[in-house]
Amino acid sequence: MSNEIELIKDPGLPAHVHRRTDTDPKAAARAERQVAILFILSALGTLLLIGSYLFVPEDIFFFIPVMGNTNAHQLGLGLGMAIALFCIGAGLIHWAKTLMPDEEVVAQRHEFRSEDEDREDFVKTVKDGAAAAGLGRRPLIKRTLGAALGLSAISPVLLLGDLGPLPGNQLKMTSWKKGTRLVTDPGDRPLRPSDLEVGAVAQTLPEIAPGEHRSLNDIAKDAVLLIRLRPEEFNLDAERLSWTHEGIIAFSKICSHMGCAVALYEQTTKHLLCPCHQSTFDVTRAAKVIFGPAARPLPQLAITVDTEGYLVAQAPFNEPVGPSFWERSA
Amino acid sequence: MKQLSRLRRHRAAGPVLLVFALFTIGTTFQVASAVDPEETTIAARSAAIEEGREIFLKGCSSCHGLNAEGGEIAPSLIGVGAASVDFQVATGRMPMADMSQQAMRKAPVYNAEEVNALAMYVASLAPGPKVPTEEMLNYERDGSVAEGGELFRTNCAMCHNFAAQGGALTQGKYAPTLMGVEPQHIYEAMITGPQAMPVFSDKTITPEEKLSIIKWIKSVEAEPQLGGAALGRVGPVTEGLLVWTLGIGLLIGVAVWLAMKAK
Amino acid sequence: MTARERIAGNVAGYVDDRTGAAKWMKKNLTKVFPDHWSFLLGEICLYSFVILLLSGTFLTFWFDPSMREVIYEGSYEPLQGLEMSAAYASTLDISFEVRGGLLMRQIHHWAALIFMVGIVVHLMRVYFTGAFRKPREFNWIIGVGLLTLGIVEGFLGYSLPDDLLSGTGIRIAEAIIQALPVVGSYLAFFAFGGAFPGVAFIPRIYTVHVLLLPGIFLALITVHLMLVWYQKHTQFPGPGRTEKNVVGYPLMPVYMAKAGGFFFIVFGVTAFLGAVASINPIWLYGPYTPGQVSAGSQPDWYMGWLDGLVRMAPPLETVTFGYTISWNILIPGLILPGIMFTALALYPFIESWATGDKREHHLLDRPRNAPTRTAIGAMALTFTLVSLINGGNDIIATTFDLTINQMMWFSRIAIIVLPPLAYVITKRLCLSLQRADRDLVLHGRETGRLVRMPNGEFTEIHEPISPEKAWLLTSHEQLAPLELPEYDGAGVRRPAAIKNKIRNRISRSMATAVPKATETERKELEGHH
């Protein structure tokens, strides 16, 4: 009894099993018919597409369960295309499966590795070529070539220099200044405190001169949310309290996390929710973050009323609005 | 002149004067109180208020207090106005079925007449937002769809989603879908700020702008599926779900068929 | 010779005279391709790419990649008279004024989603069968590159219409760039040509989306396919299949018909989705402005896991000497994905280092026979799935009556607890499947027929399995763990001692297996019965 463990052996490729279409000519004819039907269906699909494109008006809608009121033109084009393509594919595959030869073929793999002799020849060729180039013997050429190539790599990077201006102070400044009126967005109507009831919110922007146009860049920094609470509901220090007016508090609407618009105010809990990543801010505590990934509260805009009774900013924001950046507090 | 002083001393002068005075006061009062053509007579109004009080005591006072002063589990209704009552009760939110985070829209418990009575009762407690009249709700005439869309996206979409399908708030609260909501109730919700929803005063969103918003919501509701099955109109989540189920499912199914040996 | 044959012969001769094509055409037309449905998954990606090129070119004929402000004057009433960018307006025109425009937009977007799904399932097939081993490591790296670039290309693509949903996504992307330490604000200003949103971003990503990245894709896909062609496709183990052969069907006619047919199938299914299912209804989202946002804002699914990671991140931000580092953005947005993709790309080398196996492999592994690899894969999938689910936490919360707060805490805990759990469970599953295989070979198939023996004992009849099945269940290799020495012949500790010790331990874990059944054992058992 040998101590060698005998492994189970490979029985080799199983015997070929013939398909019905190989042995039965009627089955083969049927398969051929099936392939033909699929190709004809495809042609019908194309006709549906052409017909829809040329003849079906674009304003007809009809009801289909699950899909609702569907546009006939659109559906005709799409289903026509889908049927046309799918049936060609199905026909080709059915043809291959039933009628083309399905005997398995065996091919040999060859080792990828080159012969040792070839490898040596390759190395020799490279070495000879390098020697012919003479870089090893001519360090001056090597060094100056390196310097030239290295320096030339700087040019493409430099040429992209005007892709953008330097940020300068732009990330730290908004359009809000002392005395800027808060106007409704949209509508551009200035607001008085009496225009807001307790529990009300207003989307606001800084007032612009007549004829001036607000750009999206401005809105991306200037959007402010006004919320009115009862003054006794605030839990603020004296300074922040002085930035409110009769229970009205103003925050930057640009989330301090990643810049989405934060205007989802829950009247019952006095929380602001950002829908992007669910950061939650407590309005009574100057938009302190109480849940979610935001790391900083929303900047608060100090507001008061001007001589005509309209709400205005007391001063610009005391910190940059929007997402953080390296030099934010520098 | 002598005729007039003789008439003044007539025996019937007193009673006639009394009748005349009563008649004058009565008709003056009638005319003065009949300013709003929708207002019922004084008697009818006080009957409705009384009916409303009865319903309130039976169905609402256990949470909202006998005088609607509120309590630990329910807020005071003094000053909420007829609009709040109409919104909450006619959409079935009130009476609240369970004490969960949020009142859900469901089949209303009270019919229109009862809702009206309740509203008048609560409105009689203190001034508050009124139920908008039909003239105030003519959004087809007074609203603009495009402006309404812009207003909706600025003021409403962050809670109710871009197509008014609703969205999540914190701690299990949610902004409900606005599909299938009466224009009156949409208007009332904006002016009363029910539960977690803030108030949108008439100066921040003017009545015309409110009608534009309603007109846009109605147009989105009626909009057919322009590209095919809408998949809930909630965005990429359901689209990704479809491609990982139907999309790859169909393709793998065909691949398995392709590689199977034909019989 | 018929006329047709004569003409064909002339054409062929004309081409061969100038290129010598006959020789390599003959060789390649008879090339053998193994047939298994899971080998078609990569083709889903390839064909989706072609569909993207075709449908995308259609769209470029009408799309205006400009952020110039225009007033909409098209046929979609709810947006008439509104200010919007030309990019958004032209996308509306494609949807509503161009016949077949909306269909093509939808086919293009569905094809992009299917492309990414295809890449992921193809990656899973390649990973779990060990097809990335020598000599295919380079192809694996190209594949990981295609996955990464695909994510970027898709994001840029759906951002082109400048609608409210994708604009919100761009705002978030800008915040990630801006958060980079030292260079963040500069890079952001360079990318956007100034402050956000600016007017340069859409035109610039248009160039990247239709020119740069498709060019890189074409090059990478070509090399990817050439390598598969030249190195020949792997095959599943089975009777007659060895490391030195390929068993399958020739390119012409079978493979051409099947693979060509499958292209039409993929195109047809994509067109079907484009016909019946709405995707990216930008007219409902509205044009982008930074003052608006929608509830339930998500990126497309292949970025959903990134969004999920960002959502569950703890609110960590440090300010030192006035300089801010937003860990709450950098860790989930850049550092973690960077580690994951690097580990993914380097995995073939990590595994061959851990097992010490440097040989060529052309036979695939059944996943159960590589329990550690399969378990690591399950762990990675679990991690990605938890983060993907958290990406949609607000929509899941409203659909299933949960709270976003619950979802967030569930995700934070699950992402740490579930992956190791998945590892342990998967590894044990693999080992018990190996045990089941072994029992099958040694004892045969349980038929469920009970027989009573003359001595009263009940036994179940086992049917011996076929030699083909027995071979399939035992043909795999079971590598012994490495035993690298810590000390050399003279008893001196080697400098690589610690590395060797770690490697030994890892390879021992990789080598965990139920010993496969042998012929010797079978014969012994037969002797008993």
What are the pLDDT digits (tens) for A292-308? 999 999 999 999 999 99
CA–CA separation, A319 vs C137, rounded Å?
A: 51
Instruction: Indicate whether A73 and A191 sit together in one domain.
Output: no
Q: Would you state the structure tokens that stand for residue B193, as one six-digit string?
A: 């700020």
Number of domains in chain A: 2
pLDDT in tens, B122-157: 999 998 899 999 988 999 998 999 999 999 999 999
Residue B34: pLDDT band (50, 70, 90) is low
From B154, B174, B219, residue closest to C398, measured CB to CB: B174
Length, in residues, of chain C? 529
Instruction: Indicate whether A203 and A308 sit together in one domain.
Output: yes
Q: Do C295 and B157 touch (CB under 8 A)?
A: yes
Instruction: Indicate whether A200 and A86 sit together in one domain.
Output: no
pLDDT in tens, B164-223: 999 999 998 999 999 999 999 999 999 999 989 999 999 999 999 999 999 999 999 999
Q: HSE (CB half, 13 Å, CA atoms) of A258?
A: 32
Residue B12: pLDDT band (50, 70, 90) is confident
* Cβ neighbours of A262 in B, within 8 Å: 158
Which of C36, C328, C390, C524 has the highest number of chain A CBs within 10 A, making it the mutation to test binding with A? Answer: C328
* Partners of residue A64 on adjacent β-strands: A68
DSSP B170: G
> CB of A196 within 8 Å of any CB in chain B?
yes
A275 closest CA partner among B108, C395, C415, C230: C395
From A97, A263, A268, residue closest to B158, measured CB to CB: A263
**How many CB atoms within 10 Å of residue C87?**
25
CATH number, span B42-125: 1.10.760.10
Domain presence at residue A78: yes
Q: Would you state the structure tokens that stand for residue B90, as one six-digit string?
A: 């006619």
Q: Which residue has the tokens 């003479």?
A: A134
First to last CA, chain C: 67
Length, in residues, of chain A? 330
From C82, C277, C405, residue closest to B150, measured CB to CB: C82
Q: pTM of the prediction?
A: 0.92
Q: Are C282 and C161 in contact (CB under 8 A)?
A: yes
> CB of A282 within 8 Å of any CB in chain B?
no
Q: Do C198 and A217 touch (CB under 8 A)?
A: yes
Domain boundaries, chain C: 40-243+269-290+298-334
* Cβ neighbours of A225 in B, within 8 Å: none
Q: Are A254 and A262 in contact (CB under 8 A)?
A: yes
* Cβ neighbours of A97 in B, within 8 Å: 258, 260-262
Per-residue pLDDT, B73: 84
Instruction: Indicate whether A193 and A303 sit together in one domain.
Output: yes
Domain presence at residue A241: yes
Q: Would you state the structure tokens that stand for residue A250, as one six-digit string?
A: 């103003």
CA–CA separation, B242 vs C261, rounded Å?
A: 24
- Higher-pLDDT residue of A162 and B28 is A162
Instruction: Indicate whether A193 and A309 sit together in one domain.
Output: yes
> CB of A159 within 8 Å of any CB in chain C?
no
Q: Searching chain C, which residue's CA lies closest to the CA of residue A222?
A: C291
* Cβ neighbours of B247 in C, within 8 Å: 110, 113-114, 117, 269, 273
CATH of the domain at A194: 2.102.10.10
Instruction: Indicate whether A175 and A309 sit together in one domain.
Output: yes
CA–CA separation, C500 vs C79, rounded Å?
A: 68
Per-residue pLDDT, A4: 75
CA–CA separation, C159 vs C169, rounded Å?
A: 8
CA–CA separation, B201 vs B189, rounded Å?
A: 11
Per-residue pLDDT, C494: 82
Residue type present at position A213: H
Per-residue pLDDT, B48: 86
Q: Do B227 and C279 touch (CB under 8 A)?
A: yes
Per-residue pLDDT, C528: 65
Per-residue pLDDT of chain C (529 residues; tens, 9 = 90+): 789 999 999 998 999 999 988 888 888 888 899 989 999 999 999 999 999 999 999 999 999 999 999 999 999 999 999 999 999 999 999 999 999 999 999 999 999 999 999 999 999 999 999 999 999 999 999 999 999 999 999 999 999 999 999 999 999 999 999 999 999 999 999 999 999 999 999 999 999 999 999 999 999 999 999 999 999 999 999 999 999 999 998 888 888 999 999 999 999 999 999 999 999 999 999 999 999 999 999 999 999 999 999 999 999 999 999 999 999 999 999 999 999 999 999 999 999 999 989 999 999 999 999 999 999 999 999 999 999 999 999 999 999 989 999 999 999 999 999 999 999 999 999 999 999 999 999 988 989 899 999 999 998 988 989 999 999 999 998 888 888 888 887 888 888 888 888 898 888 888 888 988 888 888 888 766 5
**How many CB atoms within 10 Å of residue C154?**
23
pLDDT averaged over 10-residue windows placed end to end, chain A, 330 residues: 75 89 92 96 97 93 89 95 97 94 89 90 92 84 92 92 89 94 93 94 94 93 96 94 96 96 94 96 96 96 96 96 93
> Is it the case that residue B33 has pLDDT exceeding 70?
no
From B151, B201, B262, residue closest to A197, measured CB to CB: B201
> Is it the case that residue B41 has pLDDT exceeding 90?
no
Range of the domain at A252: 171-313
Three-state DSSP class for B218? helix
* Cβ neighbours of A265 in B, within 8 Å: 198
Three-state DSSP class for C385? helix
What is chain B's mean pLDDT, rounded?
88
Nearest 10 degrees: Cα torsion C140, C152, C384, C225: -20
Instruction: Indicate whether A183 and A92 sit together in one domain.
Output: no
End position of a domain, from candidates A81, A98, A115: A98
The helix or strand, by DSSP H or E, that contains position A68, with its residue range, turns out to be: strand A68-71
Residue type present at position C324: T
> Is it the case that residue B90 has pLDDT exceeding 80?
yes
CATH of the domain spanning B135-225, picked from 3.40.390.10, 3.30.9.10, 1.10.760.10, 1.20.950.20: 1.10.760.10
Per-residue pLDDT, A251: 97
End position of a domain, from candidates A98, A121, A145: A98
Q: Searching chain B, which residue's CA lies closest to the CA of residue A182?
A: B204
Q: What is the mean pLDDT of residues B47-72?
A: 89
Domain presence at residue A274: yes
CATH number, span C40-243+269-290+298-334: 1.20.810.10
DSSP B136: G
Q: Which whole-number Å values give the CA distances from C217 to A231, C55, C263, C267, in the listed order?
A: 60, 16, 18, 19
Chains near C with 3+ CB pairs less than 8 A apart are A, B
